[in-house]
């Protein structure tokens, strides 16, 4: 039986749960740490759920009591100590019923979920069915969530991509080659745009912009005429013309003299120690998420807009498309001459 405590009419939860879900992102640990320590500061118990929604469904050893100590020495670590999953089980009514039973068994009254689109969609459905309130913190390298200027992990990921681009540029110049570098981002071009600008790329192909491939070919032909011997092209993985391999093949057919290579950066963008920016962002948002939950908010994501904490309904974070920064988009053509 859950004991209810009222202070000045404000109901204080006794126990909340925290978990990480979806693709991991550097800074998730810093966020878990902030969640646990903010809850303890407010005299609220915290249980950590391992492996995201899959752990919620399995229960048992997947539910771990958290203390200040259990989140010590993790702020600098990549990955997530709570592990993660993309749960198929939670998409089913049966799975969500098992998850609810486990939360009740552990006396959990509210949830902090750290993840992206899929995580928040699941939390909202769960609330509609069982009434358990959730607050989210945006944890994804993709930066594709409406309601926050930056997601936790994005800054580290673009720095990882930029360092890789710098290294590739050295060898591109030595051999006079075009490199097509594919970066992550699912259906969003935030990583491609930021890392491409930071890495001085000549071409940045984004899922949001329907670039005419013939113009891309023409761009490289002009560079050839101008004796520009090497180039860096960034291709977002969700680019509509296809991935880096297919674009490179197309170019090879059109400009046989140009030697090209393809690099897929892949999951290295998801790992590594979080940047200072991501650690601070994760700490702020983890804290804000717990404060919001304890203040009676639900089904919202805690984000940062213009450097201020903002709560946005899950529905909007998932359904409203976040736009790429138009000032950055303009820079692509100005700086690649």
Q: Which of residues 261-290 bind ligand F6P (CB under 6 A)?
A: 270
Residue placing its CB nearer to ligand F6P in the complex, 110 or 185? 185
Residue placing its CB nearer to ligand F6P in the complex, 195 or 260? 195
Residue placing its CB nearer to ligand F6P in the complex, 63 or 120? 120
Q: Tell me if 23 contacts ligand F6P by CB under 6 A.
A: yes
Q: In this structure, what token pair is assigned to residue 239?
A: 């680019």
Write the CB contacts of 57 (distance below 8 Å, at least 6 apart in sequence): 87, 89, 90, 95, 98, 99, 102
The answer to whether the CB of 183 falls within 8 A of the CB of 237 is yes
Write the CB contacts of 266 (distance below 8 Å, at least 6 apart in sequence): 184
Catalytic residue among 24, 101, 142, 149: 142
Q: Tell me if 186 contacts ligand F6P by CB under 6 A.
A: yes
Q: Which of residues 82-101 bind ligand F6P (CB under 6 A)?
A: 86
Number of residues in contact with ligand F6P, rule: CB under 6 A?
Answer: 11
Q: Tell me if 185 contacts ligand F6P by CB under 6 A.
A: yes
Compute the least distance from the CB of residue 160 to ligand F6P, in Å.
Answer: 12
The answer to whether the CB of 278 falls within 8 A of the CB of 78 is no
Instruction: From 122-130, 183-191, 207-215, 294-302, give the range in contact with ligand F6P by CB under 6 A.
Output: 183-191
Report which secondary-structure segment, H or E, holds 251.
helix 244-254
Q: Tell me if 197 contacts ligand F6P by CB under 6 A.
A: no
What's phi and psi for 100, nearest 5 deg?
-60, -45
Q: Tell me if 298 contacts ligand F6P by CB under 6 A.
A: no
Compute the least distance from the CB of residue 41 to ligand F6P, in Å.
Answer: 30
**Cα-based angle 292, 114, 105 (whole degrees, multiple of 5):** 80
Choose, by CB under 6 A, the member of 30, 34, 103, 184 that binds ligand F6P: 184
Q: Tell me if 221 contacts ligand F6P by CB under 6 A.
A: no
Q: Tell me if 143 contacts ligand F6P by CB under 6 A.
A: no
Q: Tell me if 45 contacts ligand F6P by CB under 6 A.
A: no
In the annotation, is 142 catalytic?
Answer: yes
Q: How far is residue 127's CA from residue 85's CA, in Å, rounded to a whole number? A: 20
Residue placing its CB nearer to ligand F6P in the complex, 145 or 178? 145
What's phi and psi for 208, nearest 5 deg?
-75, -20
Q: Where are the alpha helices (DSSP H) in 237-335?
A: 244-254, 276-294, 314-319, 326-335
Q: How far is residue 222's CA from residue 217's CA, in Å, rounded to a whole number? A: 9
The answer to whether the CB of 17 falls within 8 A of the CB of 111 is yes
Q: Give residues in contact with ligand F6P (CB under 6 A).
A: 22-23, 86, 140-142, 184-186, 237, 270
Catalytic residues: 142
């Amino acid at each position: 039986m859950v004991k209810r405590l009222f202070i000045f009419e404000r109901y204080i939860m006794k126990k909340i749960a925290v978990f990480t879900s979806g693709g991991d992102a550097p800074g998730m640990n810093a966020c878990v740490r902030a969640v646990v320590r903010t809850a303890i500061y407010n005299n609220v118990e915290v249980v950590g759920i391992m492996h995201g929604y899959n752990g919620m469904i399995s229960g048992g050893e997947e539910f771990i009591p958290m203390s200040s100590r259990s989140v010590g020495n993790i702020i600098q670590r990549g990955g997530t100590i709570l592990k993660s999953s993309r749960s198929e089980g939670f998409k089913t009514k049966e799975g969500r019923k098992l998850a609810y039973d486990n939360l009740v068994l552990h006396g959990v009254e509210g949830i902090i979920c750290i993840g992206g689109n899929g995580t928040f969609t699941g939390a909202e459905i769960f609330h509609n069915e069982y009434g358990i309130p959730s607050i989210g913190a945006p944890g994804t390298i993709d930066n594709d969530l409406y309601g926050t200027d930056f997601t936790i992990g994005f800054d580290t990921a673009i720095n990882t991509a930029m360092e890789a681009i710098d290294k590739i540029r050295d060898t591109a110049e030595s051999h006079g080659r075009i490199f097509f570098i594919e970066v992550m981002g699912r259906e969003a071009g935030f990583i491609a745009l930021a890392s491409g600008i930071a890495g001085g790329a000549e071409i940045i192909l984004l899922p949001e912009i329907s670039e005419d491939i013939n113009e891309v070919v023409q761009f490289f032909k002009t560079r050839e005429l101008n004796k520009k011997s090497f180039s860096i092209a960034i291709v977002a993985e969700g680019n509509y013309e296809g991935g880096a391999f297919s674009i490179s093949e197309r170019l090879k057919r059109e400009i046989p003299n140009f030697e090209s290579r393809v690099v897929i950066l892949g999951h290295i963008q998801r790992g590594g120690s979080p940047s200072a920016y991501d650690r601070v962002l994760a700490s702020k948002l983890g804290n804000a998420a717990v404060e919001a939950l304890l203040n009676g908010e639900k089904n919202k994501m805690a984000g940062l807009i213009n450097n201020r904490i903002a709560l946005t309904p899950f529905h909007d974070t998932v359904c409203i498309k976040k736009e790429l920064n138009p000032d950055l988009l303009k820079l692509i053509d100005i700086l690649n001459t």
